A and B are shown apart, each in its own frame.
Chain A
């Protein structure tokens, strides 16, 4: 089954982090990505630009409303995702637990809708 690991983190905290801490974090993500690759379960991954770059679009009664900012203003923002292909939820949860994002924010695990 395919699962999306959605990584939510505190952007303000990340921006305030020292260069050394940021480097450590990047290295941790590289190692994690590599581990997923070597295990043959990686189906996709991306990091997103900060939520200040987000624009939200909603069409109501045929009128398109474009708003500056993310969909929800929360303390923790969606910052990136991994898509993995593993046998079951336990395997997905165990990968989610190893994701650096789980130690700094939260990782939401969502199964992909099979078409």
Chain B
């Protein structure tokens, strides 16, 4: 015997997973009211769970939910009495008629426009990634808060504030014009990458919420590429995330010890993700418009080539860091460039490059600088200096697995 309740629940869950953002985007687009769209949609889902077991799952569950949610929004507008709401009410009814006329066979996809609204320059940068996760994927504030390491109350406030800003300031739901697309797209990509990075920094994969966040960011990346198939940086970001994801498990030994990239067993990398990433990167390269994400993906590519050739392509790595340095001027990039130099021209050249950074005060608190320095000093035979540098690196590292690894390196100096 079929369990109709279960069927209905499964159908509702499938729609929620696949189409949540699409439904929110459609409901919120006209009035720019994300919060109201989310409320109406959650009521519609609740109604579906009551209705579908009795009447059966409708032919187009998405259309059913849209109609139901619009009805809730019209009811809401009717209950309120202000003049603006009167106007809103008429617009909603117009939407309703329009949808009925279209036979509800095709649900337009406004998710890209919604993403651009969430990552609008007028929105607080810290809130852009959380807002995309909530509106496109339906994450609740508590889950997002735990992933971004802020209190649920704070995250909740930020999200509410951002949604009011969209409504009150009149932030449009639209894909920017060609002339401003690059700048605005950068904010969308940055938000997506921030979500991925939050998930990626749980290497042991013990925190389910964080791991899911990396997977969800990849899902968003795939969505973005499907909506903007010709944007090289969108392709580059997806490639970058896939390369990183392919090596997720390899970052820790079965005992939970930190395994640096150079010591990772290529057999433990996910080949199909790497191949997908390579294909995306190639596609991005054909557009002839280089950018940060493509370069970072190319970097990953130069490292994972080891699975075929047995070693990283260090001269490519050096060149890419050179190009990244031109674009970002970031300290992290400068340190990595020095490490690449040590591979292509010897540890003394790497050390000289690190020495050139010494004036920067931020380095005093930056673990990778001291770890890189220690490693290079050890290779030049300067044991005492290496020992001191390892000590500083260990003192700055919060992750116990990485600390153990550095302590091991330091002990090997003596032997």
Contacts and interface: CB of A to CB of B under 8 A. Distances in A.
Interface of A: 1, 3, 87-90, 92-93, 109, 111, 114-115
A92 B170 contact: yes
Interface string B115-133: 0000010100000000000
Nearest to B116: A90
Interface string B147-180: 0000000000000000000001111101010000
Interface in B161-217: 168-172, 174, 176
A90 B169 contact: no
B170 A111 contact: yes
Contacts of B169: 89, 109, 111
Contact of A89 (B83, B84, B122): B122
A97 to B, nearest CB: 11
A88 B172 contact: yes
B176 to A, nearest CB: 8
A115 B86 CA distance: 12
B170 A1 contact: yes
A46 to B, nearest CB: 23
Contacts of A1: 170
A3 B170 CA distance: 10
Interface of B: 83-84, 120, 122, 168-172, 174, 176
Contact of A115 (B83, B120, B168, B174): B83
- Binding site secondary structure of chain A: mixed
A109 B165 CA distance: 12
6 contacts: A1-B170, A89-B171, A90-B171, A92-B170, A109-B169, A111-B168
Contact of A114 (B84, B171, B174): B84
Nearest to B172: A88
Nearest to A90: B172
Contacts of B172: 87-90
Contacts of A114: 84
A87 B170 CA distance: 8
Nearest to A110: B169
A114 to B, nearest CB: 5
A56 to B, nearest CB: 27
Contacts of B122: 89, 93
B297 to A, nearest CB: 31
Given A89-B170, A90-B174, A92-B170, 8 more contacts: A3-B170, A87-B170, A88-B171, A89-B172, A90-B171, A90-B172, A93-B122, A111-B169
A88 B170 contact: yes
Nearest to A109: B169
Contacts of B168: 111
A35 B171 CA distance: 23
Contacts of A89: 120, 122, 169-172
Contacts of A92: 170
Nearest to A2: B170
Contacts of A111: 168-170
Nearest to B173: A88
Nearest to A115: B83
Nearest to B176: A90
A63 to B, nearest CB: 35
Nearest to B171: A89
Contacts of A3: 170
A92 B120 CA distance: 14
Contacts of A90: 171-172, 174, 176
Nearest to B32: A88
A81 B168 CA distance: 20
A103 B350 CA distance: 44
Nearest to B168: A111
A115 B83 CA distance: 7
Nearest to A1: B170
Contacts of B170: 1, 3, 87-89, 92, 111
A18 to B, nearest CB: 35
A67 to B, nearest CB: 31
